[in-house]
Amino acid sequence: MSYENDQGGSLMNLLSFKRGGIHPADNKISSKSYIKTIKTPNTVNISLSQHIGSPAKLIVKLGDIVKRGQLIAEASSYISANIHSSINGKISKIENNNVVIEKTIDDTSYLELNTENKTIKEIVKDAGIIGKGGAGFPTHVKLSPKEQEKINTILINAAECEPYLTADHRLMLEKAKELVYGIKLILKEFKNVPKAIIAIENNKPDAIALLKSIIKNDNEIQIAVLKTRYPQGGEKQLIQAVLDLEVPTGELPFNIGVIVLNVATIISIYEAYFNKKPLIDTLVTISGDLIKEPSNYLIPIGTSIDYIINELNIEKDIITKIIIGGPLMGFTISDLNTGINKTCSGILFFKNKISIKERTCINCGMCVDVCSLGLLPTKYAKYSKYDKMDEALEASIMDCTECGCCSYICPAKIEIVSWIKLLKNKIRNLKKGR
């Protein structure tokens, strides 16, 4: 299948998932602003559990002096990831899977990875690279499917469909060549894969044009232009839109021969391979109605929200809500000492109070209509309220990707996705025997 004529074509030509979805105001107000850095914080608070799977195993102790880029915790099992110090400093506290490091020397250089005689997968593992924006699946595991020869497509998720978030968009504009080189590194690992496909929503025409100009004579990389529609960047939705394939319930993309990697992950792979840099900084969109100059900042992992507020002169007293991630899939926080994780793609600050007074369900069915996976959100909310786990499991609640479309559309302002998350957590904890 060729995607070459999709850009600039009529809306009819644009690719999309088949059912449901929403089109919220995209508020991509930081998309024109160049990537910035912030002054190194005096303290970082680094979690050993930033990824899905087991927490990393600490290999430093209280009082140790560490360098920026130094390994402080190792992957502790197959699904786990390395963690490095993001500043030069002294280990001052270790508590509840968190390590606090106090800065000793202000220096943005870093201890380089030893990449000699190592494969790309080994380098990715050493660098502690995990998927950004989602649950934080370790990338070296994603690149090591059981039957590697069955992988036939590398799909680059460049949709960035959540409102406000523009970090991937800026990376595509400011690090386009690095993105292309990074994709080629992955293609080298998968010799049976003839091409990689970069899937981009059509609200980023500058990135589409730039990438097309770079890859014009390259037969290994194609661009697929997607209709701007949320949740176009969900893995299942992306695979359906671009490849017209379904990921069966309970399975992962590699089971159907596809590996999905997002733009920031590819850039991290490039940085690890060519610049020997471990994943110690993350690019974050700072936006929301409280931010005077919304932009994207490269921030050391573990930097606290409080430090960011002070450093960017954000009016703390009038903040009513802080969201980590996008407004639909992100989560609100109240503890300003929280250190940002590798998965953090955005921090949104709001000042306007949003009324969330929940009313009674009017059985309009709109939540069901917008669910791109054909699930039954209205039922899940009710099951959650009455702890009906068996019924919820029977109705495939665990397939829900928590995209938030159902909550967004509900005229009764029912926090459907919060109810879903609550019940899913109860089910998981029950399975773990807690």
Closer residue to ligand SF4 in complex, CB, 259/416:
416
Bond preceding residue 231 cis, omega within 30 of 0: yes
The span of 1-9, 307-315, 345-353, 402-410 binding ligand SF4 (CB under 6 A) equals 402-410
Encoding tokens for residue 129? Answer: 């690279």
Is 53 a binder of ligand SF4 (CB under 6 A)? no
Is 406 a binder of ligand SF4 (CB under 6 A)? yes
Paired with 199 in beta bridges are 157, 224
Closer residue to ligand SF4 in complex, CB, 9/411:
411
Closer residue to ligand SF4 in complex, CB, 195/388:
388
Closer residue to ligand SF4 in complex, CB, 139/237:
237
55: which residues sit within 8 A by CB, 6+ positions away?
48, 49, 73, 76, 80, 97
Minimum separation from the CB atom of position 425 to ligand SF4 (A) = 14
Closer residue to ligand SF4 in complex, CB, 221/241:
241
Minimum separation from the CB atom of position 360 to ligand SF4 (A) = 8
Is 161 a binder of ligand SF4 (CB under 6 A)? no
Size of the site for ligand SF4 (CB under 6 A): 29
Encoding tokens for residue 121? Answer: 């997968």
Q: Which of 345, 192, 191, 184 is nearest to 270 (CA)?
A: 184
Is 237 a binder of ligand SF4 (CB under 6 A)? no
Within a 13 Å sphere around the CA of 35, how many CA atoms are in the beta-carbon half? Answer: 16
Is 357 a binder of ligand SF4 (CB under 6 A)? no
Is 414 a binder of ligand SF4 (CB under 6 A)? yes
**Interface pick for ligand SF4 out of 417, 419, 423, 424 (rule CB under 6 A):** 417
Pick out residues in 361-390 that bind ligand SF4 (CB under 6 A). 361-367, 370-371, 373, 375, 377-378, 381
What are the distances in angstroms from CA 278 to CA 67, 180, 265, 275, 421?
12, 19, 12, 9, 32
Pick out residues in 250-309 that bind ligand SF4 (CB under 6 A). none
The span of 60-68, 256-264, 312-320, 400-408 binding ligand SF4 (CB under 6 A) equals 400-408
Contact 73, 126 (CB under 8 A): no
Torsion angle in degrees (nearest 10) through CA of 47, 50, 53, 56: -40
Minimum separation from the CB atom of position 369 to ligand SF4 (A) = 8
**Interface pick for ligand SF4 out of 248, 316, 411, 428 (rule CB under 6 A):** 411
Which residues bind to ligand SF4, rule: CB under 6 A? 361-367, 370-371, 373, 375, 377-378, 381, 400-406, 409-412, 414, 416-417, 420
